[in-house]
Amino acid sequence: AVCSMGNSTSRLYSVLAKTLSSGAVSQNQDCLEQLDSAQLDPIDPKDLLEECQIVLQKRPPRFQRNFVDLKKNAASNHRPIRVMQWNILAQALGEGKDNFVQCPMEALKWEERKCLILEEILAYKPDILCLQEVDHYFDTFEPLLSRLGYQCTFFPKPWSPCLDVEHNNGPDGCALFFLKERFELINSANIRLTAMKLKTNQVAIAQTLKCHETGRLFCIAVTHLKARTGWERFRSAQGCDLLQNLKNITQGAKIPLIVCGDFNAEPTEEVYREFSNSSLNLNSAYKLLSPDGQSEPPYTTWKIRPSGECRHTLDYIWYSQHALNVNSALGLLTEEQIGPNRLPSFNYPSDHLSLVCDFSFNQDPDRLL
């Protein structure tokens, strides 16, 4: 394995190329372990985007999505905080377990799909990035995003289904990234969720950050609840456990909170109602895109499996509505853009849509609590 890097372009390409295949991963594992990402030179996001676009030049262009302005004449004296939520689809599950019957295997090749994922992240430039189903953290996301200025945290599932797939890249889990130039880490908690007093296979990360510009504290959390029909009570118990943890971390909502996650639950489920009615005074940001501000989007995931077509709303960005304002939210892909074969596809790397919101601090949070 070659660890040396030359000029900035070759350094960038070296890091990107190391993650192109599982073979490259195994060959370069020792090298990757030797390289401390904090000691590597920063990389320009424009350069990384160009590298990704070279890899993707035979694929269709990215879908166009626009931000919807949601400000209600609320003046803000600081730059908004952009938060991105995304279940990126674990590579091992996409190739080995999920059975996307209308998605060609060629579209799931990691060397290209990972560039589609990076392209989406680079396009929206989040200050905070919350991901689920991350199984290429150590060889792709941590080495690259740390050099883009993010502080990176990963918490794998204890019994990841990825490990059942031959030639897997390790367990999948939740990952949280924030820009160090904008925030300081005050506290971090890795939470293994419980249900009926039993430890489960689902996890969460909760971090208290201090905004450099305003001096304000807030908590950002990422989670991925249990999947599948029939597990509604289990998800409800996991949600209750997460809420209790977050109440302790935020001192009962004194610290503003943003919770990103794939809840694997429609708005009709009990776990959704628990978050809506929590004493933490949470609202779901994407409801604000509806005409009355009360309805979730019609879907955040859309796929075709052997059992049939699945169109569901499962992904959410919850926020403390007394302390935070939603300035804007990224519109979802239309049915026409998604196309008849649904997701994932050559155009889009995951079966879940990314959600992106811009937040600002309320000037008088206590008044509304």
Domain assignment of residue 23, yes or no:
no
pLDDT at 15 over 60: no
Domain assignment of residue 320, yes or no:
yes
Three-class SS state of 184: strand
Q: What is the pLDDT of residue 40?
A: 77
Domain assignment of residue 70, yes or no:
no
Domain assignment of residue 114, yes or no:
yes
Q: What is the domain range of residue 254?
A: 79-328+338-364
Domain assignment of residue 311, yes or no:
yes
Which tens digits make up the pLDDT trace of 198-229? 999 999 999 999 999 999 999 999 999 999 99
User: 198-211 and 324-330 as β-strands: parallel, antiparallel, unpaired?
Assistant: unpaired
Domain assignment of residue 57, yes or no:
no
Domain count, the chain: 1
Rounded percentage of the chain residues whose pLDDT exceeds 70: 87
The number of residues making up the chain comes to 369
Domain assignment of residue 268, yes or no:
yes
**C-alpha distance from residue 198 to each of 112, 192, 195, 201 (Å):** 39, 10, 5, 10
Most confident of 12-16, 19-23, 255-259: 255-259
> What does the CA dihedral 320, 324, 327, 332 come to, rounded to 10 degrees?
-20
- Vertex 262, ends 140 and 177: CA angle to 5°? 40
Q: Mean pLDDT throughout 135-160? A: 98
Three-class SS state of 164: helix
User: How far is 194 from 197, CA to CA, in rounded Å?
Assistant: 6
Domain assignment of residue 253, yes or no:
yes
Return the H-helix or E-strand segment holding 167. Answer: none
User: How far is 170 from 107, CA to CA, in rounded Å?
Assistant: 21
Q: Mean pLDDT throughout 332-343? A: 95
Q: Read off the pLDDT band of 249 (50, 70, 90).
A: very high
Q: What is the CATH number of the domain that holds 307?
A: 3.60.10.10
Q: Mean pLDDT throughout 336-358? A: 96
pLDDT at 31 over 50: no
Q: Mean pLDDT throughout 85-114? A: 94
Shortest CA distance to 314 belongs to which of 326, 329, 331, 302?
302
Q: What is the pTM of this model?
A: 0.91
Which tens digits make up the pLDDT trace of 104-113? 999 999 999 9
Q: Which residues of 4-21 are buried (b: 16+ CB within 10 A; e: fewer)?
A: eeeeeeebbbbbbebbbe
